[in-house]
């Protein structure tokens, strides 16, 4: 695994962003008290998550002053239809109206390339709204092409990826190497999808500063359990410590 040296990132290590997946307002206190920077609302943790009702997003936003993003995805594939597209725009507008700061979406064509037309349409319809390209990139046929396509989309400020459709356990080395080799990838990459503690130092040294945790923020990793502050706090401390070490700052 090729990694940029500590000297390369010393003095250039912004604070890491920790995004925590929440399913309902009852998850908010644990995420907030544990030190999350942003919340991501999805319908469940299976199949990458689906859109929720605007009332759920509203309930989450009422419980916190943290930025909230919500998933735009109406089926369990990474493709969408013209009919769904109009619904997605309306849903995004509803989310924003009840307090969401941004959204997340990511669509592929039937040939498994980024559906630039659909994604650009959504981004243009939500002009000025920050958004995350979701893990559809891990299902793309040619990852290097997919990265070239997504970083040209308007408004995008994060790309959620595990480096493999099978998760970071499989994709972390490829993802870390890609981030180390390309500053634009490192800047946009949000590492998530089976993130483990041992992945963090390598990703941070490669310049990655955005991370998402889902089931690991819950006791036993169960989606039936609420997000727990102690679990989130452990991730917060791990990310901050790894960033300080990468920047050559004192830790502890």
Could you give phi then psi for residue 248, rounded to 5 degrees?
75, 20
When mean pLDDT is compared across 25-29, 87-91, 160-164, 223-227, the lowest value belongs to 223-227
CB neighbour burial string for 175-209, b if at least 16 within 10 angstroms, e if fewer: bbbbbbebeebbbbbbbbbbbeeebbbbbbbbbbb
The pTM of this model reads 0.92
Return the percentage of the chain with pLDDT > 70, whole number. Answer: 93
Tokens of 248: 């050559």
pLDDT for the residue numbered 7 = 38
Pick the CATH number of 6-246 from 3.20.20.70, 3.40.50.620, 3.20.20.380, 1.20.1250.20: 3.20.20.380
Q: pLDDT tens digits, residue range 217-245?
A: 999 988 889 999 999 999 999 999 999 98
Q: What average pLDDT does the chain have?
A: 92
The tens digit of pLDDT for each residue in 69-86 reads: 999 999 989 999 888 999
Asked whether residue 5 carries a pLDDT value surpassing 60, the answer given is no
CA–chain centroid gap for 140, Å, is 17
Q: Residue ranges per domain, the chain?
A: 6-246
Query: What's residue 6's pLDDT?
Result: 38
User: Are residues 223 and 20 in contact, defined by beta-carbon separation less than 8 angstroms?
Assistant: no
pLDDT of residue 125: 95
In tens, the pLDDT along 156-167 reads 999 999 999 999
């Amino acid at each position: 695994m090729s990694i940029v040296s500590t000297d390369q990132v010393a003095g250039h290590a912004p604070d890491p962003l920790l995004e925590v997946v929440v399913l309902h307002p009852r998850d908010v206190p644990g995420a907030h008290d544990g030190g999350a920077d942003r919340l991501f609302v999805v319908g469940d943790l299976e199949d990458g998550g689906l859109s929720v009702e605007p009332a759920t997003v509203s309930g989450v936003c009422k419980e916190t002053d943290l930025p909230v993003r919500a998933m735009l995805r109406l089926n369990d594939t990474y493709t969408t239809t013209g009919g769904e597209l109009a619904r997605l725009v309306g849903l995004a507008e509803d989310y924003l109206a009840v307090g969401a700061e941004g959204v997340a979406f990511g669509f592929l064509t039937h040939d498994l390339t980024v559906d630039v037309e659909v994604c650009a349409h959504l981004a243009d319809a939500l002009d000025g709204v920050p958004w995350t390209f979701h893990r559809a990139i891990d299902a793309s046929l040619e990852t290097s092409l997919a990265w070239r396509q997504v970083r040209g989309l308007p408004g995008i400020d994060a790309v959620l990826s595990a480096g493999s459709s099978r998760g970071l356990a499989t994709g972390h080395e490829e993802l870390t190497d890609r981030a180390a080799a390309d500053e634009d990838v490192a800047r946009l990459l949000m590492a998530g999808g089976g993130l483990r503690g041992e992945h963090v130092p390598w990703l941070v040294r490669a310049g990655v500063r955005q991370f998402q945790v889902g089931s690991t923020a819950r006791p036993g990793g169960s989606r039936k359990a609420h997000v727990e502050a102690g679990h989130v706090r452990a991730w917060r401390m791990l990310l901050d410590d790894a960033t300080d070490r990468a920047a050559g700052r004192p830790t502890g």
